[in-house]
Amino acid sequence: MGRGDPIIPGKTIGILGGGQLGRMFAIAARRMGYRVHALDPSPDCPTGQVADVEWSAAYDDVDTALKFARAVDVVTFEFENVPYETLQRVAEIVPVHPAPLVLDTTRHRLREKTFLQTHGFPVAPFRAVQSVDDLKSAVAQLGTPCILKTATFGYDGKGQTRIDELAQCDHAWQSLGQPMGVLEGFVRSTCELSVIVARARTGEVLTFPVAENAHARHILDVTVVPARVPEATKGAAVELAVSVAKALDLVGVLAVELFWIKDESAAGTLLVNELAPRPHNSGHFSIDACVTSQFEQQLRAVCGLPLGDVELLRPVAMANLLGDEWAKGEPRWERALAIPDVKLHLYGKSEARPGRKMGHLTAMAGSADEAERKVRAARAALSP
């Protein structure tokens, strides 16, 4: 089988990363008849629980990664922080999608922002900072409030500090814990949107319906689809996401997170916030509410198969379930599931910790507003 041939059902998919995204990808792959191997440092990880073979090794263990690569037909990932060197070595043996360079660009905030700016995509103003003096100078240029972020290993609000006055710079820099950071101008957005875009090896591109996202404590809380914004805004968001995917020469799935600022124009102003070259928390609605889920779409893209239909079957809302839900005891699942059209997804994590994503609920309804009301009610009903 040549590298350009489709990787058909019955073959073996390798996934780097063992979290919930890999778990849902593995379920989609197993359903379509593929074998799945998962590599993650933690034994009995969420992906490993449903994979055919679980490889437990550090991501910088190149020898194990090469053995893993020789046992599969294609490799993808669900986790950004796999070392570039490991991916490069794996790619010498087996196709890796998205390409290692895509991952290396998007997992580093400065490289990502620079890539977007260089290609003419709209982003909030930013500055690279490598010392407290750099930080003070950047704050003076961008003004306050502004957000200092780590260049790497930042997700769900981790590695971020808001600066409201120049006097906070010393403490903010000390708390960064990295030799490089990115200072971003604060965006007073009307709401936050995301677009999941899939691009096949042939260049075929499809986008899932635009999602509207609400956050709590910097963690995605509720996603509502279709987004309750003007049609012109949705069209502009889709066009922007597709352009980014093409500029990256993506093969796979990409989440494009956007700030939307309502103004006098028909579409308003859109700024790219972050990119994730994999399925995304805000795309989980697609499992229950679309003809093809984002996970099956990732599988189709990396295997060289035609992309699946992304039609939204009904308006839907998704609510994250964090470890906080277990603080008073086991959640009352039967109460949430008594609400019609509510679906439960749990990720197989053994320990519920505050802020840790343990699962999600989805609810479908006749309208986006009703779907949001229903999923919030279902989550509230869990409390013992």
- The end-to-end CA distance of the chain, in Å, is 55
Is domain 125-185 given the CATH code 1.20.58.340 in the classification? no
- 191-380: CATH homologous superfamily? ATP-grasp fold, B domain (3.30.470.20)
CB-based contact 139:146 (threshold 8 Å): yes
Low-confidence residues in the chain, pLDDT < 50: none
Question: What is the location of CATH 3.30.470.20 in the chain?
Answer: 191-380
CB-based contact 12:72 (threshold 8 Å): yes
Question: Which pLDDT score, from 0 to 100, does residue 80 have?
Answer: 85
Residue keyed to tokens 């500055």: 127
Cα distances (Å, whole numbers) of residue 165 to 91, 135, 187, 235, 321:
46, 12, 16, 38, 35
Question: Which pLDDT score, from 0 to 100, does residue 296 have?
Answer: 98
Question: What is the location of CATH 3.30.1490.20 in the chain?
Answer: 125-185
Question: Which pLDDT score, from 0 to 100, does residue 181 have?
Answer: 92
Question: Which pLDDT score, from 0 to 100, does residue 367 have?
Answer: 98
214-243 residue pLDDT tens: 999 889 999 999 999 999 999 999 999 999
Question: What is the location of CATH 3.40.50.20 in the chain?
Answer: 12-96
d(CA 196, CA 61): 31
The pTM of the whole model exceeds 0.85 = yes
49-103 residue pLDDT tens: 999 999 999 999 999 999 999 999 999 999 888 999 999 999 999 999 999 999 9
Question: Which pLDDT score, from 0 to 100, does residue 4 have?
Answer: 75
3-state secondary structure of 223: strand
DSSP 119-178: TT--B--EEEESSHHHHHHHHHHH-SSEEEEESSS--TTTTEEEE-SGGGHHHHHHHH-S
Q: Which CATH class is domain 12-96?
A: alpha beta
d(CA 259, CA 257): 7
